[in-house]
Structure 1
Amino acid sequence: MELLEYDSCGVGFVCSVRGEKSHQIVRWGIEAVKNLTHRGAVGGDGKTGDGAGVLIEIPRRFFIEWLSEEGYEVSDINNLAVGAVFLYEDVRAQIEEHVRKSPFSLLAWREVPVSKSAVGESALKVMPKIFHLLLDAGKVPEERRELELYILRRRIETDRKLRDKVYFASLSSRTLVYKGMLVAPQLDVFYPELNDQRIESAFCLFHQRYSTNTFPNWKLAQPFRYLAHNGEINTILGN
């Protein structure tokens, strides 16, 4: 029977059924999303896209080595929480005020290395600064960490002084998102650390966006903080 209806966005995941972390899982996820490039739109410059990205587990070996090299200490590597933060203005000091009022301890801001040549001109014009916010969750019971991080994020997001100045692609003690307003083949070029063998995960959720009824921007690239989907306009306010 001829199919007359098709989905738009390209979405999927790769995982280890044994829960074993490896860089290979991440590589498979990235290669998979590259093979879904045809499911998204591409700008005339060949680099600006509706958005693509991956959601993986926090690569703890990668971060513990970075923290050590930079002279920072975390109470235990399993207490590390990481935020992937898009900053449209430098409001780190204001974000730190909210962190101080939370049960988390600020470890460091890490500016994520990116290759600007991997994105198109129109995406570059509106590109935010991208940082990792590293927090110590040692004082928070493990079963409450995701809830407390959600509360912290919402307090920052609802701060009127920070409106439209900051976006959390993720803020978790478990997962981390790498995404952008680009096409899938540029993902590990824009984020060169995705090629680092220390970037390990037991799963990789990937997404190539096809913008439907919503204009492309960095925030609406997927995956989102917990999932990747093809819902578009029906869920825009919740994303």
Structure 2
Amino acid sequence: MRPQGLYDPRFEHDACGVGFVANVHGARSHAMVDRAVEVLKNLLHRGATGADDGSGDGAGLLLQVPDEFLRRECERRRIALPPPGAYGVGMVFLPAAEGPRRRCQELVEETAADEELEFLGWREVPTEAAALGALARRSVPAVAQCFVGGRGRRGAELERKLYVLRKQAEKRVALLSGDAGFYVASLSSRTIVYK
């Protein structure tokens, strides 16, 4: 290929792969998740791997917020969710050690209040450490979901507030202790990232 407009093929040297699976009618089903996982399996050759077979550079799924599932999980934890689209869910990687993890959570909660959002609660996400390689297990984070009410905001207005919350929380944690093993994979009222 040759350069055309702003495109220059000399910059095409990464090994990333992207798969896309969608129901054009927006219907939600577990079959879509199964298909997406199959796509990830078929892209194994595109990702980097570590010194052991079970460690790599990570892959993930971007999904619609699974409101029914999250609502059931939150009810078990006595977290009252607003109607769909009126709350955001964050997928957050936290330090494994309890003290730093709790401090990061407190900073997220404080930042939500400062941004005039309603912090609703945390859910620890079940993970399967046995599926990881030895190298990855040494640095595995705690994974949690945070739930944030929009206080009447919906749509683009809520998405903007959630974006600001994410960026401000990341900044506060960085000022406190560098990155401290804190990473927000997603924070949205529409989508969620599972890694």
Match of 2:27 among 20, 36, 41: 20
> How many positions carry a matched residue from both structures?
175
Partner of 2:117: 104
Partner of 1:176: 192
Per-residue deviation, residues 78-118 of structure 1 (Å, max 9, x unmatched):
32210011112312112211111122211111111001111
Partner of 1:33: 40
Following TM superposition, by how much is the alpha carbon of 1:162 offset from its aligned partner in structure 2, in angstroms?
5.1
Partner of 2:153: 140
SS of residue in 1 equivalent to 2:20 = strand
Task: Specify the code of the residue in structure 2 equivalent to 1:25.
Answer: M
Matched, 1:155 2:171: no
- After TM superposition, the score normalised by the length of structure 1 is 0.68
Per-residue deviation, residues 200-219 of structure 1 (Å, max 9, x unmatched):
xxxxxxxxxxxxxxxxxxxx
- After TM superposition, the score normalised by the length of structure 2 is 0.83
Matched, 1:164 2:179: yes
Following TM superposition, by how much is the alpha carbon of 1:43 offset from its aligned partner in structure 2, in angstroms?
2.8
Match of 1:75 among 74, 79, 82: 82
Partner of 1:232: none
CA separation in 2, counterparts of 1:54 and 1:75? 24
Residue range with higher mean Cα deviation, 36-45 or 46-55: 36-45
Any unmatched runs of 5+ in structure 2?
Answer: 1-11
Match of 1:47 among 45, 51, 54: 54
2:85/2:155 contact within 8 Å kept: no
Runs of 4+ aligned residues of structure 1 deviating over 6 Å after TM superposition are: none
2:61/2:193 contact within 8 Å kept: yes
Partner of 2:15: 8
CA separation in 1, counterparts of 2:108 and 2:177? 9
Partner of 1:231: none
Following TM superposition, by how much is the alpha carbon of 1:6 offset from its aligned partner in structure 2, in angstroms?
7.6
SS of residue in 1 equivalent to 2:48 = coil
CA separation in 2, counterparts of 1:141 and 1:133? 17
SS of residue in 1 equivalent to 2:183 = strand
CA separation in 2, counterparts of 1:50 and 1:157? 21
CA separation in 2, counterparts of 1:143 and 1:9? 30
When residues 70 and 42 of structure 1 are mapped into structure 2, their CA distance, relative to the original with a 3 A threshold, is same
SS of residue in 2 equivalent to 1:38 = helix
CA separation in 1, counterparts of 2:46 and 2:85? 37
Structure index of larger Rg: 2
Match of 2:71 among 52, 64, 67: 64
When residues 47 and 138 of structure 1 are mapped into structure 2, their CA distance, relative to the original with a 3 A threshold, is same
CA separation in 2, counterparts of 1:34 and 1:74? 34
Following TM superposition, by how much is the alpha carbon of 1:56 offset from its aligned partner in structure 2, in angstroms?
0.7
1:42/1:50 contact within 8 Å kept: yes
Following TM superposition, by how much is the alpha carbon of 1:45 offset from its aligned partner in structure 2, in angstroms?
2.4
When residues 156 and 162 of structure 1 are mapped into structure 2, their CA distance, relative to the original with a 3 A threshold, is farther
Partner of 1:182: none
Per-residue deviation, residues 114-143 of structure 1 (Å, max 9, x unmatched):
011111111111221111011112422433
User: Which one has more relative contact order, counting CA pairs under 8 Å at least 6 apart?
Assistant: 1
